[in-house]
Structure 1
Amino acid sequence: MLTLSYFDQREKMHTSIEIPKDAKVYLNKPYVQVFWSPINKILTSRWTGFCTYDEIIAVAQRIIDAVTFEGARKVLYDAREIEVLDEQSQKYIAGDFTKEMIKVGIEYSATVSPTDVFAKFSLDDIQSAIKIAEASKNKFFQDVDEAFNWLLSK
């Protein structure tokens, strides 16, 4: 059973993200949940703990598949509980993954920064390594409500 909270456009999103009742779940692993909310038209991934490079690649492909299938334009990466990412994973996310997400239709993405200071360094490295002009519509947030509301405004 997931212990995430429900959100939609009618009410403010709670601090912890719940999978909406009508959401389509693409992935539900101990380290990540990926789901599409047809109400908000936002693909959300919620990361928890440590992920290997191979897990990052597999999840990234599932996210790309979901974006393609749903025609998603907006994605929310809730990385508050993720742990440090290895250098190979950081390079992949900043390079090939970001390029592919733009190619398949993502226009806006919001990333909520990790609470762990070392994991935040990993995300900062990714942010500074992204060199694609179209990725300028990716914003980083400290607060999940701000990130969600920013995506809703787009």
Structure 2
Amino acid sequence: MDEEQSSLSLGYDAFDQTPNQGWRRLSKMECYCQAAGLIVSYLNTNTNLRGNEREILAFHAGQMFAYDNNYESAISFFEQSFSSPEGVPPEFKPYSDAWDAYVNATIAFLKQNRAALIAYRAEVAKGPSLDNGQVMNLGVVDRLIENFGRPYRQAYGGR
């Protein structure tokens, strides 16, 4: 079994969340286009994924396409990563709203729409805090604003 087939047979956590496995192995080697392609193959192969798993994988595919400067494909996958409103318990709504604002901010950055990016930053800032007291994804959005006009990969990493 080749490496791609082996990756496609991994469970979600191993494929998406584990360092040096799944698509993250390719990303670490700066093979962003291949990492995006592997995520797309995983999405197409693993039809039993839960909604939030599909959304996170779509977001990560978008990131890998954006890292590869393929903003058109990136936007398409970011648009697939919005939270599914059905079945979200009321106590999780602030998280899904903040996530959607983060996705919109990312898309605004890629479309070079600074006004929208700043507006979505305000929505992200209203989101819930993580255990460390920081607002979820606010630091990333701030880096996108600080590095507006630079490639996504540089802006996301703050370099």
Q: Give the TM-score normalised by structure 1.
A: 0.33
Structure with more of its chain in strand, by fraction: 1
Structure with more of its chain in helix, by fraction: 2
Structure with larger Rg:
2
Q: Give the TM-score normalised by structure 2.
A: 0.32
